[in-house]
Amino acid sequence: MQDIEIVNYALTLEYLEADFYQKVLDSGEVKDKKVGEVAMEIAENEQEHVAALMATVEKLGGKPAPKPTTDFESVLAGGEKMILETAATVENLGAAAYLGQAGRIKSKEILAAALSIHTIEARHAAVLNSVVGKSIVPDGAFAKPAAMPEVLMAVKPFIKS
């Protein structure tokens, strides 16, 4: 049961990320062609994460978490700079969230899947950190995990339901 809870938690975060990038792309606020291409690639990755996590929950005998209704209007209204800074923040948070659950995951198969997604989230974070002028390794040589309550509190402003 614990693994289902963790996978659904990850699914909720991936829903949030996938929706964020789709809204960013739909908004037309990202003017730089290269940045737009990166956003498109990340959006596709996030949607693949959603599909994989939904299938994993079902395989474990659970019901996938419902997709939350999101609100990114204030971010989108802030223009490209705010969008990119938010993207970097969300990706860093996502990487930290996966790392924060690694020790709680019972199944080696689920752990391997979570780590494979964690790696991609960290790569997304690194490229976005670079774009916004931050270090590609904001925590130094060792990434810092984030606990579930901390992560859920951080994303709460973006979730309506």
Q: Considering the chain, what is the average pLDDT of its residues? A: 96
Q: What DSSP state is assigned to residue 82?
A: H
Residue 19's CATH number: 1.20.1260.10
Q: How far apart are CA 51 and CA 105, in angstroms?
A: 20
pLDDT average, residue stretch 92-110: 96
Q: Is the pLDDT of residue 92 over 90?
A: yes
Q: Please write the tens of the pLDDT for every residue from 130-148.
A: 999 999 999 999 999 999 9
Supply the pLDDT for residue 161. 73
Instruction: Using only the alpha carbons of the chain, give its radius of gyration.
Output: 15
User: How far apart (Å, rounded) are the C-alpha atoms in residues 35 and 85?
Assistant: 13
* Residue count of the chain: 161
pLDDT at residue 1, rounded to an integer: 72
pLDDT tens per residue across span 49-86: 999 999 999 999 999 999 999 999 999 999 999 999 99
Q: With 0.85 as the threshold, say if the pTM is over it.
A: yes
The partner residues of 70 in beta bridges, in order of sequence, read: 159
Nearest to residue 12, comparing CAs of 102, 93, 109? 93
Number of domains in the chain: 1
State the residue range of the domain holding 49.
2-158
Using alpha carbons, list the distances in angstroms from residue 137 to 90, 95, 133, 140.
15, 12, 12, 5
Neighbours of 117 (CB within 10 A): 21
The yes-or-no verdict on residue 45 having pLDDT over 80 is: yes
Instruction: Tell me which residue of 146, 151, 45 sits closest to 102, measured CA to CA.
Output: 146
At residue 125 the predicted structure's pLDDT band, cuts being 50, 70 and 90, is: very high
